[in-house]
């Protein structure tokens, strides 16, 4: 990829605030140059040169920033370039949200959520056992007969 043959790559905004060029440049080992935006915090701990104006980019700025990047290579968080990192972040946020819901609701609150193993029902923050199928139940799903299954006869 041509991008990987250069130390720096200009990454102007696309149709939105972000541009795929920024992430592609990082993946091939180049340093993207972006204009300052609301996304600046997203670039923390990554070797991205943020400028207020394109006219701020000078040979001296590029030399100085490159030296800084070289001195901090082991400190950058490149794991943020991959989907697994973001999937993990979403899982952490989901658990935080669920914990807030549990803390702010009545103790008898029961809810269900989808997990890799299927739907899980939770009560008081603890998974409920999976429902059992009663083979003696009348047709039409009338539930257990007299509250007993086959073993209770």
For 101, the domain range is 83-132
Domain assignment present for residue 61? The answer is yes
pTM of the full structure = 0.61
Quote the pLDDT of residue 118: 64
Has residue 45 been placed in a domain?
Answer: yes
b/e 9-43 (16+ beta carbons within 10 angstroms → b): bbbeeeeeeebebbbbbbeeebbbbbbeeebeeeb
List, run by run, the mean pLDDT of 10-residue segments along the chain (153 residues).
Answer: 84 88 94 95 95 97 96 91 92 90 66 62 68 57 43 42
**Statement to judge: residues 73 and 42 lie in one domain:** yes
Let me know whether 30 and 56 are in one domain: yes
Q: Are residues 77 and 99 in the same domain?
A: no
In a domain, 137, yes or no: no
As given in the structure block, the two tokens for residue 98 are 């669920």
């Amino acid at each position: 990829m041509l991008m990987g043959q250069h130390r720096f790559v200009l990454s102007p905004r696309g149709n939105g605030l972000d541009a795929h060029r920024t992430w592609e440049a990082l993946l091939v080992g180049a340093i993207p140059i972006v204009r300052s935006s609301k996304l600046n915090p997203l670039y923390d701990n990554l070797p991205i040169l943020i400028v207020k104006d394109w006219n701020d980019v000078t040979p001296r700025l590029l030399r100085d920033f490159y030296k800084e990047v070289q001195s901090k290579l082991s400190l950058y968080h490149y794991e943020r370039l991959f989907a697994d990192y973001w999937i993990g972040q979403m899982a952490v946020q989901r658990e935080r949200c669920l914990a807030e819901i549990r803390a702010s609701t009545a103790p008898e609150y029961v809810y269900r959520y989808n997990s890799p193993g299927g739907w899980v029902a939770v009560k008081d923050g603890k998974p409920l056992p999976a429902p059992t199928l009663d083979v003696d139940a009348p047709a039409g799903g009338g539930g257990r007969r007299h509250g007993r299954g086959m073993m209770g006869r």
